[in-house]
Every structure is written in C-alpha cells, then in structure tokens.
A and B are shown apart, each in its own frame.
Chain A
C-alpha cells in the first residue's frame, strides 16, 4: 500500500463496483417503483409517490390472499430454520470423528445440493402421491392427501437448506481448536457440559449464520416447492404466479414486502453475529490464551 497500488487494482476495483451495481441496481429499481402513485404503471417515470400499492396488499383486496401466504411462508421458514440448525450442528459434531456412514451422508448432501431442484421436487411429489394411493387403497378411501406445507413442503425445503448447514459446519470445525475441549474434559466436564459451555459459545456466531441460511433459503425457495408444496402456495409461488398476469405495481409492492422481511432477518442475524464476535473478543479470549 505504501508503494501505491498497481494499475490492475483500479481496473478490477471498477469491475467490482460495476458488478455490485449490476447486483443491486435492478432490485433498487423495483423497490422505488413500488412506491408509485395510485395511477402509476410498471415502468419509470414515477407517477407520484405513495404507499398506495403496499397498503393495498395489506387490505387483502389485491390479487392474492397475501396475509395467509405470508403466515404460511413465515411458519415454514421458522420451522426449517430450527430444524436446519439442530440437524446441522448435530451432524457437524458427528463428522469430527470417523463413522461408518460418513461418506454416504456427505455425498447425499452434495447430491441434494446439485441435483436439479425440479427432479427432487418431482420425486417428492411422486412419493407422496404413491403414499396417498396406498392409504386410499388399504386403509381409508376418503383420505385426501398427505402432501402439505409441513410434510412434503418441509422436506423439500430441508433438502435445500441442510447441505448448506452441513458445509458451514465443516468450515467451522476446520478452524476449531480441539484442545479447548480436551481442556474442558481434563477439568472434569461431561461431554454435554463441554458442548454447552465450551463448544457452543465458540461456534454460536456461525450457528446463527446457519439459521440465517435456513430461514432465507426457505423464505425465498421456489423450484423445490413448485411440485411438492401441495394445495397451498407460499409467498414466492404466489409472486411467480403474478409475473404472467399482473399489469400494475402490485407485484413490485409484494416484492418489496418479501425483501423487507429478508433484509430484516439478514440485519438481525448479522447484528447478532457481530455482537457475539465482539463479546468473544472481549471476554472469551483468555480461555484459549493459556493453551495456545
């Protein structure tokens, strides 16, 4: 830095700035457009400024029953988040030792991540259809369906969030110093105490990161939900349905509301991570200093 930056720095800095503009520019455009006046259309220029379209969404007079879809997506997102955090932390701990099915689980997670979503979604829908047919044939003729938000829908979302959770756990434990646990054990801590008072506080910021992934990936999930969600729609599915029919800024308003939830969750999670890291730096550091 003292020698001055090379020319390539400036070229790449401009390239990077252009990329960031490319990422954010269009999104900002629709956030602005959702505040169109009541007469406004789908494009610029703005026709007055108002919260007309956003208010319209919440009155329930719009095209979709936003309230119900919103609650469904939120419920599913929170459940997916909790399950993802618990299962990922548990499996991440398991991977620190060798165990038999290790590579099966690892390759299942990687495959689940890269097999095209439509195939997973179709498979889940076929599975539940066949279960339904079996129930109808053998037990209950009037049975409707076992497909639904919290059965097939939840499963479909987990096939997407769990691989991310597991990979984040790998990254965490790559940097984790096992001597901290040994020290706890030497001081007489039970395995649970070691986890609760030593491991968990250290990995907590990253665990919140897993929760962030779990919620936001579920909240915005579309491809896997498409065939597997059953009769009801989540918010992104409703939004996608609107893209072909709507001709007024309703759709932008809905987009803005969905994004607002995403950004709130992101901010909360990042803020918590930041606070925890700071606390760790301030208070927790002497735990490692004696050892390292």
Chain B
C-alpha cells in the first residue's frame, strides 16, 4: 500500500512533497475501513465462493428433479419425498430415514458422553494439577500431535488390535477368557464409537482446557477456605466456570459425529447407516437432489442442536 508512494518519494522527492500533506490527510480519512476491507476481503471471498454459495446451491438443488444420470433444473419435491418414503405408511414403525437418524443420534450421544468425560478430566489434570508452564505446554502438545496426523491412519490403526486375529482377541484366547474370537470388536458399532472417541476427544480437551486456565485460582482457594469439599468446589465453582468450554467442545463433537461418514464407513465395515452416509450413497448413485435434500435435513438438525446449545453460552464472547 505504501510502497508505491515510497518508490515515488525516492525517485523524485520534490514531486511528491507538494501533495503529500493533502494526500496523507485523505489517506488517513479513507484508510481505516478501506484497509480493513483489503485485509479481510480475500478471506471473505473464499468463504463466499466455497462455503456460502455452495450452501445456497445445496438448498436450491434439493428442490430440483433428477433422473438416472442427470440433474433437471425444474422445481420438484422428489428429493424430499424419496427421502421420507414410507414414513407415513409405515406408522407406527419408523421408516428408514427415521431409523437412520435415531441411530446417528444414539452414536452421537454415546460419543459425546465419553469424549466429555475423558476431555473434562484430561483438561482438569492439565489445568489444575500440572503446575509448571513448560510441562503444561509439553503435555498439551502431546495431546495435539495426533490431531495433525491422518484420521484414516488412526482408524486403520485399530485393525491389528481389534481384528479376528488381532491382539485383543489372541490375548483373551491365550488367557482363556474366551474360546472364540469376539466378532463385535471390529466393524461394529463398538469400533465406530471407539474410533470416534479416539479421533475427536481433542476437540473437547482444547476448549475445556482454555476455559479452565482462565479460572482465577483464588476462587478455588476461597471455596476451600469457606469449607467446601473437593466435590462441592468442582460442582459449584469449576464446572460453572468451565461451562463455555464444555459447550463449545460439545458443539464440535456433536456436529462432527452428526455429519460423519468416513469413520462410520471404515470402522463400521460400510454396514452401518448414518445421516452422513445417506448423502454419500445418494451422491454415488448420482441422485444429487436427493443428496442435497438429505444435506438440508442434516443441516437443519445440526443447526437446531447448535442453537439449543448456544442458548447456554455466547460463543463469540468466549473466543
């Protein structure tokens, strides 16, 4: 921004000097908002082109018609009627989409509860029991490094442990606990939940830790001096103050699991239906409007969950 002026200045100082004061005053008046636009504009454009407009297209295409091989840009509710096929006819039984969402919510709840438990105590340990800053950094880093490595690798890493001939089964058989290998260890709901917890507890640890380190230690001492037990301090002081982190972590984990199709696919042996998997299946069948309709439904449910959770805490204030 300033370089062109600098160059001009170096080249012929006298030429510039005359207009300099006027220009400087003008630049000072123009600059703040204009510079902000220059600085923030490129990122805004990326979100516009690759996030906001695509979302609009998802909504539009969900109301288009389709045949076996192409999109037909004409209004149709087929994407939705195909999705909810049989939902009224089969009452009181749940239709396929109902069952799938119920299953997804169940997985979501299990993963959420487990990651919250692990995340809370890991963050608690790091925030309150690790006193030295260096150790705190080192141990946090230890938790972060797996996040920077591949998710697929962290999934397939369970195969040699949980497979039919894996470490767990052979170990249990050797010690005589079981006679036959356990089949439910891999490519099952169990392995899906295990892998999701393994992958995403990180998203719980970070925001909770962030909230906890901000807690004024003198509050805890005050609670202790006032005669509170450890449990009372935890429930009445620490948990309420760590709530923003808990909510943010929960939003991350829940939205990730709601839309997941890769972990559920790989760890469920491509056999478990889930909200995200329906979209993938429809895309693979080139039924884009049906895929888009499912995406809109998933988006609506995710949005609903987030709105409910953000009632509890103002996200913007916490960042």
Contact = CB atoms under 8 A, between A and B. Distances in A.
Q: Which of B43, B122, B145, B299 has the most CB of A within 10 A?
A: B43
Give the bracket for the number of chain A residues in contact with chain B.
35 or more
A122 interface: yes
Interface in B214-258: 230, 251-252, 255-256, 258
A166 B37 contact: no
Nearest to B118: A19
B47 interface: yes
Contacts of A97: 32, 36
The 9 closest A-B pairs by CB, nearest first: A116-B259, A123-B54, A155-B50, A99-B36, A26-B157, A94-B39, A94-B40, A216-B148, A255-B153
Interface stretch (A180-188, A199-207, A259-267, A284-292): A259-267
A27 B146 contact: yes
A126 B122 contact: no
Q: Interface of chain A, helix or strand or loop or mixed?
A: helix
Q: Which of B42, B50, B159, B262 has the most CB of A within 10 A?
A: B50
B71 A33 contact: no
B266 interface: yes
Contacts of B76: none
A105 B40 contact: yes
Nearest to A155: B50
Interface of A: 1, 5, 8-9, 12-13, 15-16, 19-20, 22-27, 29-30, 33, 42-44, 86-88, 90-91, 93-95, 97, 99-106, 108-112, 114-120, 122-127, 129-130, 133, 152, 155-156, 158-159, 162, 166-167, 170, 190-192, 212-213, 216-217, 219-220, 222-223, 226-227, 236, 239-240, 243-244, 251-252, 255, 258-259, 262-263, 265-266, 270
A42 B158 CA distance: 11
Contacts of B154: 26-27
Interface string B91-131: 00000000000000000000000000010011011100101
Nearest to A111: B51
Contacts of A26: 154, 157-158, 161, 198
A291 to B, nearest CB: 23
Q: Which of B35, B124, B167, B295 has the most CB of A within 10 A?
A: B295
Contact of A191 (B1, B167, B255): B1
A112 B47 contact: yes
Interface residues of B, number: 91
B160 A23 contact: no
Q: Interface of chain B, helix or strand or loop or mixed?
A: helix
A213 B122 CA distance: 22
Contacts of A23: 143, 146, 198
Nearest to B32: A97
A282 to B, nearest CB: 17
Interface in B15-68: 32-33, 35-40, 42-44, 46-55, 57-58, 61
B209 interface: no
Nearest to B144: A266
Nearest to A95: B40
Contact of B251 (A91, A114, A122): A114
B99 to A, nearest CB: 19
Interface in B281-303: 283, 288, 291-292, 295, 298-299, 302
B189 interface: no
Contact of A166 (B2, B38, B43, B270): B43
A190 to B, nearest CB: 5
A122 B279 contact: yes
B314 interface: no
A111 B148 CA distance: 21
A155 B49 contact: yes
B148 A262 contact: yes
